[in-house]
Every structure is written in structure tokens, then in C-alpha cells.
Amino acid sequence: MLPQLPLLDTFGRLHNNLRISVTDRCNIRCFYCMPAEDVQFMEKSELLSFEEIERIVRVAVPLGIDKLRLTGGEPLVRRELPRLVEKLAAIPGIKDVGLTTNGILLAEHAQDLYDAGLRRINVSLDALTPEKFKKFTRRDGFERVIEGIQAAQRAGFQPVKINAVSVRGLTEEEIVPFGHFARETGVDVRFIEYMPLDADNLWERDKVLFAQEIIDILSASIMPLVQVPHGHPSTPKTSPDPDDNAGPAENMVFQDGVGRIGFIASVSQPFCLSCNRIRLTADGKLRNCLFSLDETDLRGLVRGQGTNADIAAAIRASVLAKSEGHEINTARFIQPSRPMHSIGG
């Protein structure tokens, strides 16, 4: 069999990273992701089964996909998730399987996930006090998230990454505590600029707390942050991280080498021209961009008479149709109709 051509789009971007949402359901209600109440979730019959997900991944691997991340909604509300991790990690050609979770259920699942083959985990945590946590999530659970982070570290995940969304007027007072949190616990903290993916369409550019402002605050309040070069000794050798040089985060470390801080500056410093990601929603729609207005129906092919060649052709066509960038900073930007929990984080 002749080798498959790589997944290149018309701008020369090579795609090897597939993010897979396993559910749109969640046990908290972060305002930047979903409504507070009366959320209309997908019917369970609409969700891809583990076997359907596995089939799509097996088709995608010969096209160049070698890195996976499981998302939601909250992926840990999907029953038997370690079983899916085990299936995906065993596929020849898959080099890396990660998970993004809100951490509420992590304490009870961390060891099973690690034993199933998961090695990288990101926990979404936007504040370090129960009161501010509830402002973001509109639910309780801060202590459970902290317990989940500790359980993940005990299970062997190193490092555990924290994703903290930065919102002007809300998170300024969290910046320095997160810096100390990184230094004291060994987690990597990544600040993410607030993006227009909320269900209530309340995003405004003026609410974005920019990465450079956070760098300045941390550098002035703790000590200067410096870039992490490739192979820097602060990078744990026990868990090679493909995100360090190929992902969207700008990685920095405090000048004394203690405490790694990352920045995902999607608004102020878009990284679209180096994007290597495609996304599969929980109901089997392929999206070539987080902000895409179009989707490709892979579930219809999987459940119909579609062959593996048909699925591969659909994936390739989706990548070829990828636009140059998300255009958040232009008047042409149109917010996707799907909120974040429905797309997959």
C-alpha cells in the first residue's frame, strides 16, 4: 500500500493533533462555556460510541494524526472513560494521549486513567479560592478539584497542567497566587485569554486580560519570567511534552528555574498560522478550527455505508477547507453557534 499524503491545508500547515470530545455534558457551568441553567444536551444516541471513536482514529493515523486529547463538556462524566483511553493508547502510531478535565471527578479516576495509558492531564481551574471559583463555575467544588490535582500527581502525572482563563475585572487578583501555586506544587499554570465561545454571547474584547499584562504582573510581584528554551532543565524528563514546542502555549519559567507558567494568547497573539489541530465533536462532527462555522459529518459515514476510504477523504477535505485564521480581531468575525461545551475544549 502506498503511504498516505500528510494532512496539509492550503496554507502549508501540517495537522497531527486530533482533539476528541466525548460528551457535551458537564457537572459545572462556567460562564465562558455554557449557560447557567436549562442546557439542552445531546441525546446519548447522538454520541459516538467508543468503538466509533476508535475507528475514526484508526483511519486518521495513516493520514498523520499521532496526538490525541480527550475533552468535553467534562470527559469524566462519560462512563468507563479509561476503557477508551486504553483503546486509543494501543493504536499503533499514536504517540500521545492527553485529557482536559475540570477536576471535579479526577480524584476517583486519576489512577485508573494513568493505568490505562494516559500520561498528560490538564485541569481547568480559574481561581484559587472557593468564592471566586463559584463565580466562574456557578457551582461548588473547589476543594474537590484541588484533591483531584493532588491525586493526579500521586498517580504519576508529571507535570499536571492548570488551565486558567483570564478575564479583565475578575481574575487580576488570581495572577500572583497562581504564580506561587506553580512554584509550591510543581504544577504548570497556563493562562488562557478569554475567547468568544460563551453560550450567552456576552464576550467583549475589553474583557480580555492579555498575556503580556499577566507576564508583567508576575515578573514585578514574584520575579522575572524568562522564556523556556528547548531542552531547558526545568522541563521534566519523565514525561516528554509535545506541547512545549509545537503547541499554542508560550512557555516561561521564573528566573530561578522554579515555577513554569504558560500563556495561550489566542486573542492578542493568534497562533493560527502554526495550528496543527482538528476537532471531533461528541456527536461526530469534524471541525477544522475551534471557531469554524462549518462541520463535516463523520458520524453519518461511520453509521452509514461509509468505508474507511470515505472517512479518510472527508477528513482530508475538511483540512483542505481550513481558513487562514479565526479573525477574532476583525469586523468579519462571526461567533460559532455552538458554545464551547458543545464543540469540545
CATH of the domain at 240: 3.20.20.70
Nearest to 19 by CA among 87, 63, 75, 83: 75
Helix (H) or strand (E) run with residue 57 in it: helix 50-60
**Domain-located, residue 10:** no
**Domain-located, residue 256:** yes
Please name the amino acid found at residue 286: L
pLDDT digits (tens, 9 = 90+) for 292-340: 878 999 999 999 999 999 999 999 999 999 988 666 655 665 666 676 6
What is d(CA 22, CA 283) in angstroms, rounded to the nearest whole number? 8
- At 27, the pLDDT band (50, 70, 90 cuts) reads very high
CB 261 within 8 A of CB 225: yes
What SS3 state is found at 43?
coil
pLDDT of amino acid 1 = 46
**Domain-located, residue 157:** yes
**Domain-located, residue 9:** no
Provide the grid cell at 156: 504519576
**Domain-located, residue 7:** no
- Higher local confidence (pLDDT), 244 or 151: 151
pLDDT of amino acid 106 = 98
What is d(CA 148, CA 102) in angstroms, rounded to the nearest whole number? 9
Nearest to 28 by CA among 282, 339, 341, 290: 341
- At 130, the pLDDT band (50, 70, 90 cuts) reads very high
- Mean residue pLDDT of the chain comes to 89
- At 246, the pLDDT band (50, 70, 90 cuts) reads very low
What is d(CA 288, CA 322) in angstroms, rounded to the nearest whole number? 6
**Domain-located, residue 233:** yes
- Mean of pLDDT values over 234-263: 70
Task: Print the domain residue range for 260.
Answer: 17-343
Domain count, the chain: 1
- Is the pLDDT at 241 greater than 60? The verdict is no
- At 201, the pLDDT band (50, 70, 90 cuts) reads low
DSSP for 259-313, please give it.
-EEEEE-TTTS--GGG--EEEE-TTSEEESSTT-S--EEHHHHHHTT--HHHHHH
The radius of gyration computed from the CA coordinates of the chain, to the nearest angstrom, equals 19
pLDDT of amino acid 30 = 86
**Domain-located, residue 11:** no
- Is the pLDDT at 113 greater than 90? The verdict is yes
pLDDT digits (tens, 9 = 90+) for 182-193: 999 999 999 999
DSSP state of 158: S
Helix (H) or strand (E) run with residue 85 in it: helix 81-89
Phi and psi (nearest 5°) for 72?
-145, -150
**Domain-located, residue 123:** yes
pLDDT of amino acid 117 = 97
What SS3 state is found at 247?
coil
CB 345 within 8 A of CB 71: yes
- Higher local confidence (pLDDT), 51 or 268: 51
